[in-house]
Amino acid sequence: MPFRTLMFRALALVALAIVALPGPARAQDALQPALQAFADDLASPSRRTIESVVITLIEQDHPNIGEFLRRYSAREVVQRPEDGLFFYAEDAGALVRLVDIDSGEAVAEVSSRDVTQIRTNSGVQRVIAAALVPLELNAPERERRMAALDAISRSPDASQIAPLAESVERETDASLKTRKERLLLLLQAQFAQDRAVQLSAIAALGGDTSIEARGVLNRLTATVTEVALALPEGANIARVLNVGTDLTEAAAYELLVSAALAEPAQTPAMLREVLAENIVDGRVGGVPVGRLSDPAARIEAYEALEAAGTVPPRAAPDEAAQAVAAHVFFDRYTLDDAEITAAAQAALDSTQQAIAAYQVADLVLDGLSLASIFFLAAIGLAITFGVMGVINMAHGEFIMMGAYTGYVVQLFIPDYTISLLVALPLAFLVTFGAGVAMERSVIRHLYKRPLETLLATFGISIALQQLAKNIFGTQARPLTAPDWLGGALQINDIVGISTIRVAIFVLALIFLALLLYILKRTRLGLEVRAVTQNPGMAASMGINPDRINMLTFGLGSGIAGIAGVAIGLYAQVTSEMGANYIVQSFMTVVVGGVGNVWGTLAGASLIGFLQKGIEWFNPSNTLAAQTYMVLFVILFIQFRPKGIVALRGRAAGD
């Protein structure tokens, strides 16, 4: 055997030289020769012997050593018995493809019986993994160090603490360093041998809202619900459960049953089955079957069977209650160390507080974004409603029109950024035109009849909606945001907001400023306010109310168009999208108070925040949130019929 081995080695060296020469790897860097030096230990590894081998190999610092050890540990390395060379084995159908360790080229395909697979047991695998960690943690490439950290956080264990702690010192990259420090804390909190280290690590995790930190603390404070006749001595009890308040009697009894401390209670279905099995000549225990639709008769029949000894005795009615009363129910920490669990619990509590604060922050962001959407959708409506007293039911369709304009623009201009820049003004122009056309052709004839304007514009609304359906189909059309709007502003694991919503918020702010400017600082605004307050007087002062009405209506509609593009970016563009916003927009206007930009802002904020707030209480049910929202609006109007910002005195009319 030694002779044969020697000979094979010599041959192998020759062969290797031949194979290795044309390859890029220089001979002295090649791993195979180094491996051959420990061929026996590698071929039949044991936990005892492998460590020194692995350490020696790692110290030699071959470029491929990391990969080799990983695949070796994963049992992907085979030895060819003829020459003792090691290869990576890859699956190739029925055969095994042998891959050269240094060049990575496929060498041959052989039957699996022609090579020896090296079986690394779990002890060996652990040794290799531990040996690899410091290697990778201190690898020169940032990516490899990052991958090592990822690997540790995927499957953390105690052995990683020492190398990680050691590598923290050597880390040069600042962000990786903080990450390593955190990971170290996480490891220490779970596995540190030294109690003081563990406790301080746990304390340091308090207030950390990341999912990893919460996961660690949750694991440390995990509990199981148990039941016993008396509280067990020395057990690490989290809390004693009160039957009735902490858990129902039925649940408590189920616990007893699953702990084999009580028999399962007889359900009505079980009773029926037992009775059905014991029907004799149309009677059960002497009770005619026909009477058994009465629950009392069923019990009577069962008791008769019981007396005859056919069935086991029935539980007394209060047996379950007695059994429950005789036991204590408690949550026990899965960790027995009370000091650790208490520290972890305290840390978790402080984390919860941080989380609550962040959740409020997140809620505020959500509310803000919803409010800005409502504001954008409603402000156009508020202008036309406030200035002209006209309810435009087709406002939602103008929103839709704007969104479809954006969609069509994207069909022609593939670059999303440019198309968005084109779509915004174009949508304004299109809906401005539509608004002016509608005002001229329909609404101006109906100024004396506001309720009929509502109906006429509704007619226009259904016609437009159907028209959109006929042109664009019923299917939702995409309006894609440019990439720079695609991401999200993630502040931490809890607080985050998509960039698009930030953009909508900014858009809403721009419009607020623009409208305030137009209404307060321009000639048009002055005339608009004059017409709002007293059309007759305004007309006599040379203001043409027709022109003002037309422009106002156009402006309101144009803003709806822009809102449509904005909404289309994050929601889908359908012919019905406007209808989804119209009622909300009305409520915004009504709650805010008519004819006032600030009022609309207040209304939108109130409705936006409230809706998010209600959703927070019941996050799974948006419909319910909307229902309560609408109910709130109905009640709100009871107390402030003219909205938050109400015009008072004679201007309010009567």
Partner 1 sequence: MSALLEVSGVSVTFDGFRAINNLSISIGEPELRAVIGPNGAGKTTFMDIVTGKTKPDEGRVLWGEASQNLLGMSESAIARAGIGRKFQKPTVFEDQTVRENLAMALRNKRGPFDVLLYKTNRHARARIAELAEEIGLSDHLPRRAGDLSHGQKQWLEIGMLLAQDPRLLLVDEPAAGMTPAEREHTTELLTRAAQTRAVVVIEHDMEFIRRLNCKVTVLHEGSVLAEGSLDHVTQNQQVIDVYLGR
Partner 2 sequence: MAKTTLAPKKGFLSENPSVLRFLGLLTVFTLIVTALAEGFGAGVISTSFLKVLGMTLCLCLIAVAMDVVWGYCGILSLGHFAFFGLGGYGIGMWLMYARTEGIVRTSLANAPIPATEGEVRDAIASQIFSVVGSTELPFIWGFAHSLTLQLLLIVLVPGLLALVFGWLAFRSRVTGVYLSILTQAMTLALSLYLFQNDTGLRGNNGLSGLQNIPGLLHLPQSTIALWFFWASALALGLGYLLFAWLVSGKFGSVVRAIRDNENRVRFLGYHVESYKLVVFTATAIVSGIAGALYYPQAGIINPAEIAPITSIYLAVWVAIGGRGRLYGAVIGAATVSLLSSWFTGGGAPNIDLGFYRIVWTDWWLVLLGLGFVAVTLFFPKGIGGLFDYLVRKP
Residues within the interface to partner 1 (CB under 8 A): 648-650
Q: Provide φ and ψ at 276, rounded to 5°.
A: -60, -30
In the DSSP assignment, the letter for residue 490 is E
Q: Which of 133, 216, 275, 343 binds partner 2 (CB under 8 A)?
A: 275
Buried b (16+ CB within 10 A) or exposed e, 487-510: eeeeeeebbebbbbbbbbbebbee
Q: How many residues bind partner 2 (CB under 8 A)?
A: 59
In 3D, which of 589, 180, 527 has the Cα closest to residue 392?
589
Side chain identity at residue 56, one-letter code? T
**Residue among 109 and 273 whose Cβ is closer to partner 2:** 273
In angstroms, give the least distance from the CB of 554 to partner 2.
19
Radius of gyration of the chain (CA): 38
In angstroms, give the least distance from the CB of 463 to partner 2.
3
In angstroms, give the least distance from the CB of 470 to partner 2.
5
Chosen from partner 2, partner 1, none, partner binding at 649 (C-beta under 5 to 8 Å by type): partner 1
In 3D, which of 185, 186, 168, 166 has the Cα closest to residue 177?
168
**Residue among 272 and 547 whose Cβ is closer to partner 2:** 272
In angstroms, give the least distance from the CB of 401 to partner 2.
15
CB atoms near residue 145 (< 10 Å): 21
Q: Which of 21, 61, 414, 639 binds partner 2 (CB under 8 A)?
A: 639
Under the binding rule (CB under 8 A), the answer on residue 649 touching partner 2 is no
184/117 Cα distance (integer angstroms)? 36
Q: Provide φ and ψ at 501, rounded to 5°.
A: -70, -35
**Residue among 629 and 647 whose Cβ is closer to partner 1:** 647
Torsion of CA 142, 161, 175, 145, to 10 degrees: 10
SS3 content of the chain, % helix, strand, coil (to 5): 65, 10, 25
Contact 559, 572 (CB under 8 A): no
Give the rounded distance of the alpha carbon of 145 from its chain centre. 28
**Residue among 113 and 650 whose Cβ is closer to partner 1:** 650
In angstroms, give the least distance from the CB of 305 to partner 2.
13
In angstroms, give the least distance from the CB of 533 to partner 1.
13
**Residue among 141 and 654 whose Cβ is closer to partner 1:** 654
Q: Which of 78, 393, 427, 566 binds partner 2 (CB under 8 A)?
A: 393
Task: State the Cα angle at 545 between 539 and 549, rounded to 5°.
Answer: 160
Under the binding rule (CB under 8 A), the answer on residue 290 touching partner 2 is yes
Binding mask 146-185 for partner 2 (x = CB under 8 A): ----------------------------------------
Binding mask 580-609 for partner 2 (x = CB under 8 A): ---x--xx--x-------------------
100/82 Cα distance (integer angstroms)? 15
Q: Provide φ and ψ at 544, rounded to 5°.
A: -85, 105
Q: Footprint of partner 2 on this chain (CB under 8 A)?
A: 268, 272, 275-276, 279, 284, 289-290, 292-295, 298, 385, 389, 391, 393, 442, 445-446, 449-452, 454-456, 458-467, 469-470, 579, 583, 586-587, 590, 621, 623-624, 626-627, 630-631, 633-635, 637-639, 641, 654
